[in-house]
Amino acid sequence: MRSIAGLILFTLCLFSQLQAQRTRYANLKGTVIDSASRQPVEAATVSIFLVADSTLINYGITNKKGEFLIKEIPQAKPCRVMVSYSGLNTHIQDFIISPETKELIINTVQLRKVFSEMEEIIVSAQRPPVMIKKDTLEFNAGSFKTPVNGVVEDLLKQLPGVEVDAEGNITINGKKVSKITVDGKDFFGSDFKITSKNLPKDIIDKVQVVDHKTREAQFNKITTGNEDKAINLTLKKDKKKGLFGRVSTGYGSDKRYESGASINFFNGPLQLNFIGFANNTNRQSFSGGDFSMGKPSSSFGGGGSGITETRAAGLNFSNEFSKKLRINGSYFYNNSAMTNTIKARRQNILPDTTFFYNSSTNSANNNESHRVHVNIDYKPDSMTDIYVNTFFNTSANKSTTANDALSTSIKGDPINAATNTFTGRSDDKNTGLEVFFGHRLNKQGRGFTLSMNYNYNDRLALDKNDGRTVFYKTDGSSTADTLDQQSNTTASNNMLSLSTSWTEPLAKQLSLIFQYNYSSGNGHSDKITNRFNPLTGQYDERDTLFSNAFRNRNLSHTPNISFSYNQNKLNATIGAGVQWLEQENVSEQAKNSLVQHYTNLFPSANIGYRFSKTGNINLNYSGRSQQPSIDQLQPVPDNSNTLYIRLGNPDLKPSFFHNINLNLQQYNSKAYWNAGIGFSTVNNQIIYETWFDSVQISRPVNTDGNYNVSYNLSFSRSWKKKGWSLRLTLGNNGYYNRNISFTNKVENITQTYNLSQRIGLTYTFKELLTLMPTFIMRYSDSRYSIEQTQQAENITKALTMNAFLNWPKRLILENNIQYNYNSRTAPGFPKGVTMWNMAANYQLFKNRQGILRLAVYDLLKQNTSIFRSVTPTYIEDTQVQVLQQYFLVSFIYNLKRFGK
Give tens-digit pLDDT for 672-700.
Answer: 788 889 999 998 988 888 888 778 888 99
Stretch 63-85: mean pLDDT, rounded? Answer: 90
Q: Does the structure show a pLDDT above 50 at 125?
A: no
Stretch 42-57: mean pLDDT, rounded? Answer: 84
Q: What is the pLDDT of residue 4?
A: 47
d(CA 643, CA 692) in angstroms, rounded, equals 10
Q: What is the pLDDT of residue 760?
A: 86
**Dihedral angle, C-alpha 784, 785, 789, 791, nearest 10 °:** 40
Residue 630, φ and ψ in degrees, nearest 5: -65, -30
Q: Which amino acid is at 344?
A: A
Q: Does the structure show a pLDDT above 70 at 854?
A: yes
Q: What is the pLDDT of residues 517-564, one digit of tens each?
A: 999 999 988 999 999 999 999 999 998 888 888 888 999 999 999 998
d(CA 449, CA 435) in angstroms, rounded, equals 11
d(CA 256, CA 281) in angstroms, rounded, equals 7
d(CA 447, CA 438) in angstroms, rounded, equals 7
Q: Do β-strands 615-626 and 592-612 pair in parallel, antiparallel, or remain unpaired? A: antiparallel
CA–CA–CA angle 174, 177, 181 (5° rounding): 145
Residue 490, φ and ψ in degrees, nearest 5: -125, 120
Q: Do β-strands 478-505 and 270-279 pair in parallel, antiparallel, or remain unpaired? A: unpaired
Look at 781 and 867; give whichever has higher pLDDT: 781
Inter-residue contact 588 to 636 (CB < 8 Å): no
Q: SS3 of 765, please? A: strand
Instruction: Report CA Rg, the chain.
Output: 31
Q: Does the structure show a pLDDT above 50 at 88?
A: yes
d(CA 635, CA 651) in angstroms, rounded, equals 10
pLDDT bracket for residue 217 (50, 70, 90): confident
Helix H or strand E encompassing 153: helix 152-156
Helix H or strand E encompassing 571: strand 570-587
d(CA 864, CA 869) in angstroms, rounded, equals 16
d(CA 1, CA 457) in angstroms, rounded, equals 51
DSSP 113: B
Stretch 75-83: mean pLDDT, rounded? Answer: 91
Q: Which amino acid is at 249?
A: T
Q: SS3 of 725, please? A: strand
The contacts of residue 660 (CB under 8 Å, 6+ apart) are 619, 620, 621, 678, 679, 680
Average pLDDT, the chain: 84
Q: What is the pLDDT of residue 873?
A: 74
Helix H or strand E encompassing 19: helix 2-22
In the chain, what are the helix, strand and coil shares in percent, each to the nearest 5? Answer: 5, 65, 25
Instruction: Look at residues 883, 832, 885 and name the one whose alpha carbon lies nearest to residue 859.
Output: 885
Strand partners, 231: 180, 209
Stretch 331-347: mean pLDDT, rounded? Answer: 92
